[in-house]
Copies of this chain bind each other. A is one copy, B any other.
Amino acid sequence: MSLNIHDIARKAGVSVATVSRALNSSGPVSPKTLQRIKQIALENNYQPNSIAKGFAKKRSETIGVILPSLVDEFFSEVLRGVDEEASRANRYTLVSSSHDQRNIVETLLEFMSSGRVDGIILMAPYIHGDITGILDRSKRPLVLLSSGDGLPQKSSFNFDNYQGAYAVTEHLIKHGYRKIATITGPEGNHDAEERFRGFKDAVTHAGLNVADHFIVQGGFTLKSGYYGFMRLVTQVEKPDAVFAANDMMAVGVFEAAKSLGMQIPSSIAVAGFDDIFLSRLLTPRLTTVHVPIRELAIKAVRYLIQMIDEKVDPAKVYHEEISTGLIVGGSCGCTNSPDRSFL
């Protein structure tokens, strides 16, 4: 096994306490002792055992991230942001992509009481009773990411879905479309609900009404966008524009339109939400709402670390809504939209 602090102390002819102080700058050490210890540590490339360190300090320098799954761009961007900010703050990232609800609960319990993480970033689009229960008696700092306000007693960072949906819908209305349909996200999903609310308000405030047959429920998947669109356009009254609650469904809409021989935006305008990479490749480019995922993750981690370091009161709740930005492509009917923005 590699050498430990005692070995270094012996080699340097000092006590372990001095070595610890020298290497962590945690107490006074005379310049020449400091120098000698550092030298010896370097020569023997001593690496303190960080498990032991964590044990002694009751700190793991690790933040735990619980994600619903890692499949799509969204989650990997979150993870990227978390890892980026965590490593900037010299923290480790322990990740768990829970495959189902049970799993989230278990992981949460584990993470909270095992001493393995100092704080938790939890992303749970569907928060239910079990989770609430655990979270209530959670002792570790925790922040919710894009999980809505179902748990107002916990600090959270969300996108301003309402504002984004409102803005993009308003944009469609400005184009003169009057029969605007939407394909929603899955039921119970906070983002989906907020987006729908924004859509509805924008339509209503414009003096239009939201017809029931212009609302079809989707599931944030390409497939549901495809079939959702099919349902919309095979009705007697057809919409002249459709707002898909996320880009993946908008892609489904494009595919469906293509297979029906419908032109976008001339036969029907389309808008999405998320600004995924793919939306840039559609022709015409998708009009959508940009969500700064990394930024969200980074802010959440920063706040979490402040809680851990007690720079902010961990008991106090803080909520932040990160604003989203309208991205105008050609799918809404705008003509001056940039092309080949992917290059």
Seen from chain A, the residues whose Cβ lies within 8 Å of a Cβ on chain B are 2, 45, 47-52, 54-55, 60, 62, 69-71, 75-76, 79-80, 83-84, 87, 92-97, 99, 103, 109-110, 113-116, 139, 222-223, 226, 251, 255, 258-259, 278, 281, 283, 340, 342-343
Contact = CB atoms under 8 A, between A and B. Distances in A.
A64 to B, nearest CB: 9
A113 B109 CA distance: 28
A224 to B, nearest CB: 10
A220 to B, nearest CB: 15
B340 A2 contact: no
B92 A92 contact: no
A139 B2 contact: yes
Given A251-B281, A343-B223, A80 B97 contact: yes
A259 to B, nearest CB: 7
A69 B174 CA distance: 41
A19 B80 CA distance: 41
Contacts of A50: 110, 114-116
Given A49-B114, A255-B343, 15 more contacts: A48-B114, A50-B114, A50-B115, A50-B116, A51-B55, A51-B115, A76-B76, A76-B79, A80-B97, A83-B97, A94-B94, A94-B95, A95-B95, A226-B343, A258-B283
Contacts of A79: 70, 76, 79, 95, 97
A94 B96 contact: no
A95 B78 CA distance: 13
